[in-house]
Amino acid sequence: MIGLGLFTLQTRYTRTAVWVTFQAVEAIGQGLVIPTILPTIQAFLPESELASYVGMYSFLRVFDFVWGITIPAIIFNAQWNKKHHVIGDLAIREQRRNGMAYHFASGTYRTMLPITVQDQIVGVYTESLRTIWQVGIMLALLGFLAAFV
C-alpha cells in the first residue's frame, strides 16, 4: 500500500532518483512475500498433499497475473478514453482510443510528436496511471483486512 501510495505522488516532472526510490519501496513490499510462500507451506504438508498444493499454488499465481495485468489495463483504457479530450491533435487522440494508448507509449514514438502534444499525452498517461494506483491501494487494503478474517 505504501509503494502504491508513493506512486500516486508522482507527476510528469518527478526526478529519476525519486521514482526509482518509489519503485524500490514497492518492489520490496511485493517481492519479499512471493518467493517465500511455496517452500514455507510445503514444509508443513505431508508428502501426499504436495502435488495438489503446488497445482493450486500455480493456479492462484496465474489467476493473480490476470488480476494484476488485465484489470489495470481495463482501468487504464477506460481512464484514457475518459480524459483524452485534452489532447489537441484529433488524429493522435483518435489513434489512441479504445485500448490503443498503451500500444503507443514508447518514448521513441512520442518524441516524434510536437512538444505541446507530447505534454498533453504525458498528462493523460499520468492521470490514467494515478487511477490504477489508487485502485491498487484499495485492493491492497482489502487484502490486508481480509488477512485478519
For residue 141, what are the CA distances in angstroms to 70, 98, 146? Answer: 20, 30, 8
Name which residue leads in pLDDT, 78 or 106: 78
Q: Quick one: pLDDT at residue 68?
A: 82
Residue 121, pLDDT above cutoff 80: yes
Q: What percent of the chain has pLDDT over 90?
A: 23
Residue 109, pLDDT above cutoff 80: no
Q: Burial-class residue 69 by CB neighbours within 10 Å (0-12, 13-18, 19+).
A: exposed
Distance CA 42, CA 77 (A): 40
Contacting residues for 147 by C-beta, under 8 A, at least 6 apart: none
Q: Which of 149, 107, 138 is nearest to 1 (CA)?
A: 138
Domain count, the chain: 1
Contact call for residues 110 and 123 (beta carbons, < 8 A):
no
Full-model pTM: 0.77
Q: pLDDT digits over 24-78, tens only?
A: 998 888 777 666 777 877 888 888 888 888 888 888 888 887 888 888 888 988 9
pLDDT band of residue 84 (cuts 50, 70, 90) is confident
Name which residue leads in pLDDT, 120 or 111: 120
Q: Which of 136, 124, 40, 112 is nearest to 83 (CA)?
A: 124
Instruction: Scan for cell 526526478, then name that residue.
Output: 15
Q: Quick one: pLDDT at residue 107?
A: 64
* Residues spanned by the domain of 33: 2-148
